[in-house]
Amino acid sequence: MNIILKMTFGLLTFINSATTTHQEKEKFKGQHLLSDCLELIPMSYSTKEKEPFLAAVNRINGEEIALVTVDGKSATYKFYYFEKSESIDGEIAYLVPSNEIYKDPRKVHAIFLKYSKKKHFFYNSDCFKEKLKANAELSSALKMM
């Protein structure tokens, strides 16, 4: 009986550690170095889910954001601002490339990203740039778009 109990405990411990390791696997090399910079933005254009998204946009209010996109084994980044506007359905928010935000007229007015929480990660721009500059592993893993 004691052996069965120990084996069961050992098996449960192994399954738990394997699950935890799988959940914590980095999506791109050096991702753990950016954990302090992560901005949790539940991006959604759905009317039902827009309130948490708009609350996050209000929280970062006018701050530049780095968007890292993971596609297979490669990761790229680009800098954006969120901009808000009124529509028929109420307030909406969308991405504007940093290099277009103050231009008049803009070449790119708005980007409605086909967002996936598994492949898109938002970071505070200042923190992101600092970490990227300080870490060779990270700067070699990420390519600017």
Q: pLDDT by residue (tens digit) across 34-73?
A: 999 999 998 887 777 888 989 999 999 889 999 999 998 7
- Which one-letter amino acid corresponds to residue 119? K
Q: In the prediction, which pLDDT does 133 show?
A: 96
How far is CA 145 from each of CA 62, 82, 113, rounded to the nearest angstrom?
A: 22, 18, 15
Question: How confident is the model at residue 8, as a pLDDT?
Answer: 43
pLDDT on residue 68 = 96
pLDDT < 50 regions, the chain: 2, 4-23
Structure tokens at 135: 């870490």
Q: Is 145 buried (19+), middle (13-18) or exposed (0-12) by CB count in 10 A?
A: exposed
Instruction: Fill in the DSSP letter of residue 35.
Output: G
> What pLDDT does residue 142 have?
96
**Would you tell me how many other CB atoms lie within 10 Å of the CB of residue 4?**
8
Query: In 10 A of CB 14, how many CB atoms?
Result: 10
Q: What pLDDT, on the 0 to 100 scale, is given for residue 3?
A: 52
The predicted structure's pLDDT at residue 24? 65
